[in-house]
Amino acid sequence: MSYYFVIIGTKDNPLFEHEFGTYRQGGDGISRFREDTRHMNQFVAHASLDILEEVQWAGGQMYLKTIDRYPPTGSTISAFITAANAKFLLLHQPNNISTTSNPSSLTANRNAPTSTTPAATDEAIKNFFNDVYDSWVKTIMNPFWRVDTPVRSPVFRSRVAASAKKYL
């Protein structure tokens, strides 16, 4: 699996981005997004923000599981909302991508079952989000960090990478 992780601020601006691959089943941690679709990761992740903002008020959970799918690339977007309304989005794409016959647009079916994300993967994503959230809170407690400014800390990037290696 390949992953694209992004943290979106309260003004819908990206604060942090990280792309990586799976470490499970002998993976090397390198993302395997196809070069012709790699540029779509940001677009797909940001397009799911509308759905995220609808779903966030429906329940009181921080982890929202799978909120959107993008069939042309087989990508799935999972989300987590912090207490300060920063949004963690994880676009994950299986290595064996099968394109569908309708590559026209994003699908926004939040009532669909999450059958493409097995329970073990869903639990791993939840643990990854919780671990990154812990690192996020420690990072934004820095008195020199201003709200909605990008995080450029190499320590935070290494903690996200370590969480990815541990859970994904």
Neighbouring CB atoms inside 10 A of 59's CB total 8
The average pLDDT across 58-85 equals 87
pLDDT on residue 74: 80
Between CA 144 and CA 141 the distance in angstroms is 9
In which residue are the tokens 């779903």 written?
55
Selection from 94, 105, 89, 103 nearest residue 46 by Cα: 89
Per residue in 113-142, pLDDT (tens digit) is 334 457 778 899 999 999 999 999 999 998
pLDDT at 149 over 50: yes
Specify the amino acid at residue 7. I
pLDDT at 158 over 50: yes
Question: Which residues are 5's β-sheet partners?
Answer: 18, 90
CB-CB contact of 92 with 118 (8 Å): no
Question: Which residues are 78's β-sheet partners?
Answer: 66, 90
pLDDT at 111 over 90: no
Specify the amino acid at residue 50. D
pLDDT on residue 55: 86
Neighbouring CB atoms inside 10 A of 58's CB total 9
Report the chain's mean pLDDT, rounded to a whole number. Answer: 80
Per residue in 30-47, pLDDT (tens digit) is 666 667 666 778 888 888
Q: Could you tell me the CATH number of the domain that includes residue 158?
A: 3.30.450.70
Number of independent structural domains in the chain = 1
Specify the amino acid at residue 55. V
- Return the DSSP state at 32: -
Q: Which residues contact 21 (CB under 8 A, 6 or more apart)?
A: 1, 2, 3, 27, 28, 29, 30, 31, 32
Domain span holding position 144: 2-167
pLDDT on residue 114: 39
Which percentage of the chain shows pLDDT scores above 70? 77
